[in-house]
Structure 1
Amino acid sequence: MLLCARWSERAAHEIAVAVVDHGLRPAARAEAEQVGKWAKALGFRHYLLRWEGEKPVTRIQERAREARYALLAACAREMGGAAIVTAHHADDQAETILFRLTRGSGISGLAGMAAASRCADAALLRPLLDMRKSALVALCEQADHPFFTDPSNSDEAYARARMRKLAPLLAAQGLDAEALLRLGRRAARADAALDACAAAAREAARIDSDAGLARFDPSKLRDLPLEILLRILGDEIERLAPRARLRLDRLERAALLLSRALQSGAPRRLTLAGLLLEFGRGAVSLGPAPPRRAGRRDDCGDA
């Protein structure tokens, strides 16, 4: 808020502040209301958003994040906002990369959070990813402006808090924040190159496509590296089934099975993310899967 208040282009933009009260801590409501007072003092409209309903008992931070972005997207839509801007900083980025590294993430995950992406109908912007948290704290202190420290950041019930306690040990072995950020930049560079190769290969292999179907020339897919084939599949699934949540291991399995079928020339049918992937009759096609029987799982592991 302080940076936005000082922004030279502030007058040219309508800026509002939205705070999410997840309802997970007794003090959260009062903190959100106080932020609202600070926002109004700086001349910003303020929206206090609440995560209503019964809270989950597992994967609480992941689900809180999903709820938070859903609330922010709805707020942006209501006010006609073109972008949601968050204050994620370099320390957040380093923690994200470490978190994903411990979970065996792929290249895209190791690239960390994107500076610009999408959240529903709005752009999602993170302009402070190159700034360390200490610089942002110093900015507030220099302005003599109070701020809140979220106690959940040190709650060892959460994996990220446990990893923070390991930070000194990891740094002593050379895996400090700067090393993690360097890894993220290199992964992002490789990810962009792989995406460009996959986009070119996808267009070269495309026979036709529409809102509900994609068909590709198998001879143009047969000799592609597995990573490129995987990305083509992933992009088409995202286009045809944007609400699907397909885990990387399932996508990897689908790409491997398709690659083997292409190499052998044997027809193959797979279902994943509610779509039917079929190789045969001179094409690789991807489109809506027929209705499944109750309890049946997709060939690549989706329920």
Structure 2
Amino acid sequence: MPDEIAARLAPWLGAGAPGGAVLAVSGGPDSTALMGCAALLPPCVPVLVATVDHRLRDGSAAEAEAVAAAAAALGLPHRLLVWDGPKPVSGIQDAARQARYALLAGLAAEVGAASVLTAHTLDDQAETVLLRLCRGSGPAGLAGMAPARALGSATLARPFLDLAKARLVATCAAWGWPAAADPSNRDPRFARARLRGLMPALAAEGLTAPRLARLAGRLRRDEAALDAAAAGAWDRLRREATGADRFVLDGVGFLALPEAVALRLLARAVARAGDARRVRLERLEALLAALRPALAGGGATRRTLGGAMVSAAAGRLTVTGAPPRRGPGGRDSGSVDAAG
């Protein structure tokens, strides 16, 4: 309904919104509903529709042209973004997602847009949680997609994240907005498509999309509390910093932290000193397990993780940028290796 549309999109497109917005529209019913709903609102901020053509299958260019035509019919400008260059042999969907967000962030910076809006739904959130559960993710991964987060200089917002996909399909039908179906959504080669096929059976056992999304919300709440605790510990335990990539922490205080807080503190130090934005939880756990005996017993150990060198000795935990490695591997971007 128009009132609900206005309430959901007003923070990003209404009067008082921080600036213009880029709408990520693939042509499917979810993003088509986002585009159509945006067109129904009074033009308070500049709105630009963007379609990313990943060039991964035949027909993608025609689908992008269809979105451009639909945007024009709604009175909205459109920009085509193309993912050029070689494509990876494995992990193609993850790589495509990263490329898509990079292109959208670049466009937002180019046009000065304050936000990038996507049409992710409650169903997408449930599938994300289930996919990450299958991959063995920790609480941060199971927290799923955030309703809003930073994306370059803009904010990535998901105003439909708590809505069932069926409502957006119904919205397109009610307003007569034509939408396409992405065949990759049913391609069994992709894990997300396979899990989507399992959702009805899981729902019959009580594991419904709303319950999975509720789990994500609760874990996001707990993650925020743990991050705040880790930030406080960082301020309390830092003893010296002699450069942008060298940090020294009080080892005794570090040992006294609850394990969940210690892991986040360690992740923070590795991210700041190293060259990896994020490392896998099990590798952080292995690193913490290797450091504890040295800090408790007065010995010494040294490990690398995510491009950072982590040393424990004499009650001090030191994290620095790791020296470049010889050979084709370059710096270690996510493994834990003994280094003496």
Within the candidate set 236, 240, 262, 1:208 is matched to 240
Corresponding residue for 1:254? Answer: 287
Could you say what secondary structure the match of 1:182 adopts? Answer: helix
Residue 150 of structure 2 corresponds to residue 114 of structure 1: no
Specify the alignment match of 2:253 in structure 1: 220
CA contact (8 A) 1:18 1:49 kept: yes
State the one-letter code of the partner of 1:246: V
In structure 2, the partner of 1:86 is 118
Task: Return the alpha-carbon distance in structure 1 between the equivalents of residues 249 and 277 of structure 2.
Answer: 21
Moved >6 Å (runs of 4+): none
Name structure 1 gaps, 5 residues minimum.
none
* Aligned residues between the structures: 300
Conserved in 2, the CA contact under 8 Å of 1:250 and 1:301? no
TM-score by length of 1: 0.92
8 Å Cα contact 2:240-2:249 kept in structure 1: yes
- What is the 5 A alignment of 1:111-150? 111-150=143-182
Please tell me whether the aligned partners of residues 108 and 188 of structure 1 are also in contact (alpha carbons under 8 angstroms): yes
User: Is 1:61 equivalent to 2:93 in the alignment?
Assistant: yes
Q: Deviations over 1:233-266 (max 9, x none)?
A: 1122233346545222222211222223222222
CA distance in 2, matches of 1:59, 1:117: 24
One-letter amino acid of the counterpart of residue 247, structure 2: A
> Residue 300 of structure 1 corresponds to which residue in structure 2?
336
Deviations 1:49-105 (A, max 9, x none): 111123222111111111111111221222222222111111000000011111111
CA 1:211–1:127: 2 relative to 1, 3 Å: farther
Give the conservation status (yes or no) of the 8 Å contact 2:148–2:155: yes
In the alignment, which of 148, 157, 163 is matched to residue 189 of structure 2?
157
Q: CA RMSD in A?
A: 2.0
Shift of the alpha carbon at 1:117? Answer: 1.4
Pick aligned residue for 2:105 from 66, 73, 96: 73
SS at match of 2:68: helix
Deviations 1:199-224 (A, max 9, x none): 11121111234532222111211111
Amino acid at match of 1:300: V
Distance, in Å, in 1 between the alignment partners of 2:156 and 2:297 is: 43
Give the whole-Å Cα distance in 1 for the aligned partners of 2:54 and 2:328.
34
Asked if the contact 2:275–2:306 (Cα under 8 Å) also holds between the matched residues in 1, the reply is no
1:2 aligned partner: 36
CA distance in 1, matches of 2:113, 2:273: 26
TM-score of the two chains, using structure 2 as the length reference: 0.82
* TM-aligned CA distance change 1:255 to 1:121, over 3 Å: farther
